[in-house]
Amino acid sequence: MYCVETRELSHGFAGHPAVLNSINMQVPTGSIYGFLGPNGAGKTTTLRLLLGLISKQQGEIMLFNKTLKGNRIEILKQTGTMIESPSLYGHLTATENLLLYQKLFQCQRSRIKEVLDTVGLSNTGNKKAGEFSLGMKQRLSLAVALLHNPSLLILDEPTNGLDPNGIIEIRDLLKKLNETLAVSIIISSHLLSEIEKLVTHVGIISKGSMVFQGTLESLVNKQQQNASLVVDTSNLQLSAELARQFVPAATTGNGKLIMPIPAKETIAAINHAFVKAGIDVYEMSTNKKDLESIFMELIK
């Protein structure tokens, strides 16, 4: 079941090429969905369309199995958002900022303390939001997004401009929200290294087109394609002959034995055969693409 789904979603601005081309996004309920792509790929435009901040031109948008058109207010009551920079009043405290939004959302006042505790800002006292660090502002923006107890969070680059410690804080907070409160999360980013530590599902967009969508596991499995085991031994010819008894596709190159990565039990058997034949094994290593390489190939 999907909490967000788009069908053939396309969009463009007057006098410019299309920003989005037939985007079919599917966000499973309960997932943390990483929406990845380089700057200018169409991530923010897509998120704005999901929230009705800009008008849809072509295609269909569904949230909670309801079309956005005709159900936007009902949908937004279940959705918390943080698009681009935090919308805060710098001359007000964290509590005062949340009091304004509490009246707007018409939710219980008790939620203010709850969300401040959740994001770790309950002890900021009379400190004004304008004096907050960027990480604290991001957490206060998350508190605003959580105030009306949404079942879906849509976050656009929430770690933008944060130092490594701030990135870890936001990442841990989002994991906690997903695991303890069952909040579904869409998070856009161009930082694959951070996203892969957080998400369960991935959608990759490039030049307005979706080039990959699926679980993080399926993206990781792409690492294994064309991966090889490289072995450096004291006797290349003999080691190649022995290895082919286990892996017929074993070959040689650059003075080393090269073969498709076999099962770990097979690797152990090959190594045992080398030792038994008196062959010294200097090194065994895998040669496979990392996620960043896969990402770069997809967006090109």
HEC profile for the chain?
Answer: CEEEEEEEEEEECCCCCEEEEEECCEEECCCEEEEECCCCCCHHHHHHHHCCCCCCCEEEEEECCEECCCCHHHHHCCEEEECCCCCCCCCCEHHHHHHHHHHHHCCCCHHHHHHHHHHCCCCCCCCEHHHCCHHHHHHHHHHHHHCCCCCEEEEECCCCCCCHHHHHHHHHHHHHHHHHHCCEEEEEECCHHHHCCCCCEEEEEECCEEEEEEEHHHHHHHHHCCCEEEEEECCHHHHHHHHCCCCCCCEEECCEEEEECCCHHHHHHHHHHHHHCCCCEEEEEEECCCHHHHHHHHHC
How many other CB atoms sit within 10 Å of the CB of residue 2?
A: 17
Question: Residue 108 — pLDDT band, cuts 50, 70, 90?
Answer: very high
Q: What is the pLDDT of residue 294?
A: 79
pLDDT tens-digit map of 93-104:
999 999 999 998
Q: What is the pLDDT of residue 85?
A: 66
Read off the tokens for 295. 């990402």
As a whole number of angstroms, the distance between CA 31 and CA 259 comes to: 37
As a whole number of angstroms, the distance between CA 232 and CA 236 comes to: 8
Question: Residue 220 — pLDDT band, cuts 50, 70, 90?
Answer: confident
Q: What is the pLDDT of residue 223?
A: 66
| Overall average pLDDT of the 107-113 stretch | 93
| Overall average pLDDT of the 56-70 stretch | 91
Checking if the pLDDT of 290 tops 80, the result is: no
**Cα atoms in the Cβ-side hemisphere of radius 13 Å centred on 31:** 21
Domain boundaries, the chain: 2-222, 225-288
CATH number of 225-288: 3.30.70, 1.10.3470, 3.30.2450, 3.30.450? 3.30.70
Checking if the pLDDT of 17 tops 90, the result is: no
As a whole number of angstroms, the distance between CA 59 and CA 21 comes to: 10
Q: What percent of the chain has pLDDT over 70?
A: 97
Class of 2-222 in CATH: alpha beta
Q: What is the pLDDT of residue 97?
A: 95
Checking if the pLDDT of 86 tops 70, the result is: no
Q: What is the mean pLDDT of the chain?
A: 89
pLDDT tens-digit map of 143-170:
999 999 999 999 988 887 777 887 888 8
